[in-house]
Amino acid sequence: MGILIATKNEGKIKKYSTMLNVLGIEYKTLKDFEDNIEVEENGNTPKENSIIKAKAYYDIFKMPILADDSGLILDELPESKQPGVFVRRHNGKVLSDEEMISLYSKEIEKVGGETTGGFVIAITIIDNNGKIYTNEVKHEKLFILLSFNKI
């Protein structure tokens, strides 16, 4: 039966399929199904969103599920400015890499040019019996703005 990697994101598929291959676990991805199912990620944290996705896909496909979600926390920013799970969405727009870097660089500049923070990654697995296993970790980073003057 294997497990469903609940994503169409090529990077995530590569990451999880590599691990599952090493363990000898068969898997499928959402790309293996013709259904164009979109799960509304309306949680406030990566952990909430990974659980929401895992439960929704488990209900649909009736097989073990691996789902994840991530977010960005910048410790010096006020709560109202936190990217969180909306790191790529701002004012109703999906941001490109360049737009995202520009936006958060400006926010970091407002708090003195550096902040600690990190990427929060949550993984949820639902087994054959519907039991949920989930965990969330924060990968600590230091974000520093650098400026270079032309000579």
Residues with catalytic function: 69
Q: What is the largest CA-CA distance in the chain?
A: 65
8 Å CB contact between 62 and 39: no
Residues 6+ apart with CB under 8 A from 40: 52
Q: Which residue has the tokens 């701002």?
A: 90
61/84 Cα distance (integer angstroms): 29
